[in-house]
């Protein structure tokens, strides 16, 4: 039987008389806010950047996975979504969904400052009777042992005055089939009341929910999903390096292995692992494992492979240029695609930037073309702007490196026009004398 306050709050959710607050309007928060607003739920979005908040209120979109028409509909037409940089307005919301970044520091330890700041804001302004759900990726035990004490420090009692859940984001940028509303969503909560309220809340906007027994189970689910991919991508990258030495086409190997109808899932080689989750999330688990005196050797090994891949690509570029009696120093090297995956405008943790940085430090003349990303800053602090994709740019380059296989780049044209191509993504299917594969 629910606590009396929980019963009253459940009625409020089921009657859709709540205001949902979304803290952080980035790649996770804005799609989530729009999804709730499209389902007729009043949403107040909180964003540290006043420029971004003002942009949203004008219906101007900056997240590719949100349709421009959907954002315009919920801001300008139905006015179900409003954004603000004034965090004192947390007093106006009944629900707080925390969608802030969780990066690693330079020692690959979790940077909890964004989560901590969001919780401090909540502790300052929250009133009694509020459901709070963390969506940011983090290590198991965060919800119960890190967040809960912050929220209770001003005297509010969990299970009586507020209810705390963890429901990890599942965002796949560029995915045409699965968006926020139709991607099954895991949820864990502290206590049965929080579980019931959390499920009722997310049912307003999400098609399928999968409840688990606790927040730490839900936190481990997210880490497992991305560690699985991290280790398998690292494995195929290591096997690619070996296959190259043995004169074996790893892509042919993968295609043949895919014919097995059970026990195999294809992962594909590339210059490294990019994106906001896979290169980072496994190290959250490593962090907490050390507190239990447990050594995660597989994550360490996969991390080493991922770290060396960009350098191995530089070696491949150097080898390919040497065959043309050229060195990296002084050669013009054009990179095609700096996004970490095809057809998105996201270069976070992209291995292309690491390769560009090393090439520049070795004296190469670096340029890039990416139809989705007009400007990047690589690790040496140098700012680059995307160059045009035309015959002159391709033919002028001493080497063209395919780092992202965007679907709207004509790679066969590249093979025909370029002096030398290093194809890291198997974008060029035909055999060409001037094309070197990863």
Domain residue extents for the chain: 4-213, 299-437
The count of other CB atoms within 10 Å of the CB of residue 170 is 18
Q: Are 111 and 138 in contact (CB under 8 A)?
A: no
pLDDT, residue 3, reads 86
**How far apart are the C-alpha atoms of 185 and 169, rounded to whole Å?**
8
Q: Are 27 and 346 in contact (CB under 8 A)?
A: yes
Token code pair at residue 140:
């198991």
Q: What are the residues whose beta carbons fall under 8 Å from the beta carbon of 307, sequence distance 6 or more?
A: none
Assessment of whether the complete model's pTM goes beyond 0.85:
yes
Token code pair at residue 179:
């968006």
pLDDT, residue 104, reads 83
pLDDT, residue 142, reads 96
Token code pair at residue 378:
């690589």
Of the residues 99, 165, 277, 399, only one is catalytic, namely: 277
Question: What phi and psi, each to the nearest 5 degrees, are found at residue 176?
Answer: -85, -20
309-331 per-position pLDDT tens digit: 999 999 999 999 999 999 999 99
**pLDDT beneath 70: ranges in the chain:** 380
Q: Report the CATH superfamily, name and number, of domain 4-213.
A: NAD(P)-binding Rossmann-like Domain (3.40.50.720)
Mapping DSSP onto H, E and C, the string for the chain reads: CCCHHHHHHHHHHHCCCCEEEEECCCCCHHHHHHHHHHCCCEEEEECCCHHHHHHHHCCCCCCCCCCHHHHHHHHHHCCCEEEECCHHHHHHCCEEEECCCCCECCCCCECCHHHHHHHHHHHHHCCCCEEEEECCCCCCCHHHHHHHHHHHCCCCCECCCEEEEECCCCCCCCCCCCCCCCCCEEEEECCHHHHHHHHHHHHCCCCCEEECCCHHHHHHHHHHHHHHHHHHHHHHHHHHHHHHHCCCCHHHHHHHHCCCCCCCCCCCCCCCCCCCCCCCHHHHHHHHHHHCCCCCHHHHHHHHHHHHHHHHHHHHHHHHHHHCCCCCCCCEEEEECCCCCCCCCCCCCCHHHHHHHHHHHCCCEEEEECCCCCEEECCCCCEEECCCCCHHHHHHCCEEEECCCCCCCCHHHHHHHCCCEEECCCCCCCCCCCEEEC
pLDDT, residue 275, reads 82
pLDDT, residue 276, reads 77
pLDDT, residue 380, reads 67
CA distances from 307 to 243, 272, 278, 366 (A): 19, 8, 13, 21
Answer yes or no: 277 catalytic. yes
CA-closest candidate to residue 234, choices 306, 177, 286, 299: 306
Token code pair at residue 383:
């700012």
Residue with tokens 């499209």: 38
**How far apart are the C-alpha atoms of 165 and 418, rounded to whole Å?**
54
Name the CATH topology of 299-437.
Rossmann fold (3.40.50)
């Amino acid at each position: 039987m629910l606590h009396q306050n929980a019963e009253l709050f459940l009625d409020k959710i089921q009657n859709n008389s709540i205001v949902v607050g979304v803290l952080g309007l980035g790649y996770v928060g804005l799609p989530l806010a729009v999804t709730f607003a499209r389902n007729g739920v009043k949403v107040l979005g909180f964003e540290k950047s006043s420029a971004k908040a003002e942009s949203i209120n004008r219906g101007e979109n900056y997240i590719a996975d949100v349709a421009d028409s959907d954002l315009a509909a919920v801001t300008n037409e139905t006015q179900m979504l409003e954004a603000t940089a004034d965090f004192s307005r947390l007093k106006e919301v009944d629900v707080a969904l925390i969608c802030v970044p969780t990066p690693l520091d330079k020692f690959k330890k979790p940077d909890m400052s964004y989560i901590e700041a969001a919780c401090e804001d909540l502790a300052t302004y929250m009133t009694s009777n509020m459901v709070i759900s963390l969506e940011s990726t983090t290590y198991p035990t965060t919800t119960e042992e890190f967040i809960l004490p912050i929220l209770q420090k001003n005297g509010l009692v969990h299970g009586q005055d507020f209810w705390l859940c963890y429901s990890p984001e599942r965002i796949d940028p560029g995915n045409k089939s699965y968006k926020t509303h139709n991607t099954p969503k895991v949820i864990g909560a502290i206590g049965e009341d929080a579980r019931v309220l959390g499920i009722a809340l997310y049912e307003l906007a999400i098609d399928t929910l999968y409840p688990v027994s606790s927040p730490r189970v839900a936190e481990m689910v997210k880490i497992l999903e991305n560690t699985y991919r991290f280790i398998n991508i690292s494995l195929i990258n290591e096997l690619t390096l070996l296959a190259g030495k043995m004169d074996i086409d790893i892509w042919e190997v993968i295609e043949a292995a895919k014919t097995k109808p059970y026990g195999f899932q294809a992962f594909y080689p590339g210059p490294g692992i990019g994106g906001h989750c896979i290169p980072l999330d496994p190290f959250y688990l490593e962090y907490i494992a050390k507190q239990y005196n447990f050594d995660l050797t597989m994550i360490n090994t996969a991390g080493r492979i991922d770290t060396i891949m960009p350098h191995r690509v530089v070696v491949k570029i150097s080898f390919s240029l040497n065959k043309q009696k050229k060195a990296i120093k002084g050669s013009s090297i054009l990179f095609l695609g700096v996004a970490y995956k095809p057809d998105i405008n996201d270069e976070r943790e992209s291995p292309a930037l690491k390769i560009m940085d090393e090439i520049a430090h070795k004296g190469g003349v670096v340029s890039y073309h990416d139809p989705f990303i007009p400007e990047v800053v690589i690790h040496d602090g140098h700012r680059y702007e995307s160059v045009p994709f035309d015959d002159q740019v391709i033919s002028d380059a001493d080497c063209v490196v395919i780092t992202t296989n965007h679907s709207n780049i004509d790679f066969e044209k590249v093979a025909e026009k370029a002096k030398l191509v290093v194809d890291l993504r198997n974008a060029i299917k035909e055999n060409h004398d001037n094309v070197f594969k990863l």
